[in-house]
C-alpha cells in the first residue's frame, strides 16, 4: 500500500510540475518502403510485428497494379505452412482485406503474438508455363507474357511529431553516509524545492533511537548552534521522526518552503555509527522547459 501511495504522489507531482508544458503529439510517420513483384497467385511475407503485453496496431499504405488480398497471419503458423503445405487450410487470417489496389491498411494486433503481413496476388496463373514472369501460349502459338504485379508497401511507425522533448524526472540521491554519532547534531543542507509537492525520501539505520527533522535552513542553523531550541523548532515542521532506529519515511515540500536542511540528533549517547540516505524526486533533464510555479 505504501508503494502505491508513493507512486500516486509522484505521478501527481509530475502532472502538476509539467502542467505548463505542451503535451507530446503522436502520429503515424513513414518508416520505410518495400517494392515487390508478384506473379499470379504468389504470396509475399512482409514485416513481422511483435506487440507487447497490451497488444498493438499497425499502419501500412499499399499500392498495387493488380488486385491483391492483404491479411495478418500468426508468424509461427506462417513459417510452419511454408514447410508443411497440408496445414495451410487451418491457418487463421486476421484483418482480411480483399481486392486491394490502393489502401491504408490497419489492424489491431493481439498481445505477445508475432504476426506477419501477408500479401496475395489474386490473379489465376491459368496456363503459366514458368513461375516468375509466366509465359502463356495463345491459340495462335505466339507467346504472351503475364506481367508481374508491382506492389509498393509503405510502412509507418507511431512516433512523436510535436513537443517531443519533455522534462524528464527521476530519483536523485542527496545524502548517503555512514558516520559516528556524537552529542553534536548532524546537519545537512539538502533541498530547495523546485515545484510544489516535491517528494523527499529518507532512510535511517542507527544503534540508538534518533530524532530526525527537515527544517527551514535558517531554523536548522539556530538549532545547531543552540540545541535547546530543538523542541520549538520541531513544533513548526511536520517532516520529523522521533525515537526511531530503523525506518523509511517521506515528506512533501512546496516552493514557498524555501531551502531545507536535515537535522539528526541521537536521543542517547553513543559512539557507534549510523547510516542515513536521502533522495528526492525531481526534474533531471530538459528542465528549462518547465514554467516556475506561480508564473503564467
**pLDDT tens readout for residues 200-248:** 999 999 999 999 999 999 999 999 988 888 899 999 899 999 999 999 9
Residue 197 phi, psi dihedral angles, 5° rounding:
85, 15
What's the confidence (pLDDT) of residue 291?
Answer: 67
* CB distance 261 to 217 below 8 Å: yes
The chain-wide mean pLDDT, for the chain, equals 86
Distance, CA of 197 to CA of 43 (rounded, Å):
58
| Model confidence pLDDT, tens digit, residues 42-95 | 999 999 999 999 999 999 999 999 999 999 999 999 999 888 888 877 889 999
Contact 295, 24 (CB under 8 A): no
Which residues, 6+ apart, have CB-to-CB distance to 92 below 8 Å? Answer: 73, 74, 77
pLDDT of residue 127: 46
pLDDT of residue 139: 42
> In the numeric block, which cell numbers belong to residue 278?
536521502
Please state, in angstroms and rounded to a whole number, the distance separating the CA atoms of residues 204 and 249: 9
Distance (Å, whole) CA 293 – CA 118: 53
pTM beyond 0.75: no
12-16, 107-111, 270-274: segment of lowest average pLDDT: 12-16
Alpha carbon 38 to chain centroid distance? 39
CATH 2.60.120.530 domain locations along the chain: 168-285
pLDDT at 140 over 50: no
The stretch 245-259 carries a mean pLDDT of 94
Homologous superfamily of 27-162 in CATH? Answer: GOLD domain (2.60.120.680)
The pLDDT assigned to 131 comes to 40
pLDDT at 14 over 60: no
Residue 290: Cβ within 10 Å count: 18
Q: What is the rounded end-to-end Cα distance, in angstroms, of the chain?
A: 36
48 or 13, which is more confident?
A: 48
Per-residue confidence band for 128, with pLDDT thresholds at 50, 70 and 90: very low
Q: Of residues 125 and 44, which shows the higher confidence score?
A: 44
Q: Which set of grid coordinates corresponds to residue 259? A: 531551502
Confidence band for 292, pLDDT divided at 50, 70 and 90: low
Cα–Cα distance, 56 to 79 (Å, whole number): 21
Using 50, 70 and 90 to split pLDDT, how confident is the model at 15? low
Task: Kindly state the DSSP code that residue 41 receives in the 8-state scheme.
Answer: T
Comparison of pLDDT for 119 and 140, the residue scoring more:
119
Task: Report, at the CATH architecture level, how domain 168-285 is classified.
Answer: Sandwich (2.60)
Domain with CATH 2.60.120.680 in the chain: 27-162
Q: What is the pLDDT of residue 135?
A: 38
- What cell was used for 118? 501477408
Would you call 170 exposed, middle or buried from its count of C-beta atoms within 10 A (0-12, 13-18, 19+)? exposed
Query: What is the percent of the chain with per-residue pLDDT over 90, rounded to a whole number?
Result: 70
pLDDT for the residue 137? 33
- Max avg pLDDT among 132-136, 149-153, 166-170: 149-153
In angstroms, rounded to a whole number, what is the distance separating the alpha carbons of residues 7 and 173?
A: 18
d(CA 41, CA 60): 22
pLDDT band at residue 22 under the 50/70/90 scheme? confident
Average pLDDT (95-104) is 96
Tell me if 107 sits within 8 A of 73, measured CB to CB.
Answer: no
pLDDT exceeding 70 applies to what percent of the chain? Answer: 84
Amino acid at each position: 500500500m505504501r508503494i502505491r501511495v508513493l507512486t500516486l504522489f509522484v505521478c501527481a507531482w509530475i502532472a502538476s510540475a509539467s502542467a505548463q508544458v505542451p503535451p507530446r503529439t503522436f502520429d503515424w510517420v513513414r518508416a520505410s518502403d518495400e517494392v515487390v513483384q508478384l506473379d499470379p497467385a504468389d504470396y509475399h511475407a512482409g514485416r513481422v510485428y511483435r506487440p507487447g503485453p497490451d497488444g498493438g496496431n499497425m499502419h501500412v499504405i499499399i499500392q498495387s497494379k493488380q488486385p491483391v488480398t492483404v491479411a495478418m497471419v500468426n508468424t509461427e503458423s506462417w513459417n510452419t505452412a511454408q514447410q508443411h503445405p497440408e496445414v495451410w487450410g487451418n491457418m487463421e487470417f486476421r484483418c482480411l482485406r480483399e481486392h486491394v489496389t490502393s489502401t491504408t491498411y490497419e489492424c489491431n494486433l493481439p498481445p505477445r503474438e508475432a504476426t506477419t503481413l501477408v500479401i496475395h496476388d489474386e490473379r489465376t496463373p491459368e496456363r503459366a508455363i514458368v513461375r516468375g514472369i509466366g509465359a502463356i501460349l495463345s491459340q495462335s502459338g505466339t507467346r504472351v507474357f503475364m506481367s508481374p504485379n508491382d506492389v509498393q508497401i509503405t510502412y509507418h511507425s507511431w512516433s512523436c511529431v510535436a513537443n517531443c522533448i519533455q522534462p524528464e524526472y527521476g530519483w536523485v540521491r542527496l545524502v548517503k553516509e555512514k558516520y559516528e554519532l556524537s552529542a553534536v547534531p548532524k546537519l545537512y543542507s539538502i533541498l530547495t524545492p523546485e515545484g510544489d509537492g516535491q517528494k523527499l525520501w529518507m532512510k535511517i539505520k542507527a544503534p540508538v533511537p534518533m530524532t530526525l527533522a527537515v527544517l527551514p535552513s535558517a531554523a536548522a542553523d539556530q538549532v545547531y548552534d543552540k540545541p535547546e531550541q530543538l523542541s520549538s523548532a520541531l513544533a513548526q515542521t511536520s517532516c520529523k521522526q522521533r525515537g526511531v532506529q530503523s525506518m523509511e519515511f517521506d515528506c512533501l515540500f512546496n516552493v514557498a518552503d524555501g531551502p531545507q536542511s536535515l537535522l539528526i540528533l541521537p536521543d542517547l549517547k553513543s559512539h557507534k555509527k549510523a547510516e542515513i540516505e536521502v533522495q528526492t524526486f525531481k526534474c533531471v533533464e530538459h528542465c528549462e522547459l518547465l514554467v516556475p510555479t506561480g508564473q503564467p
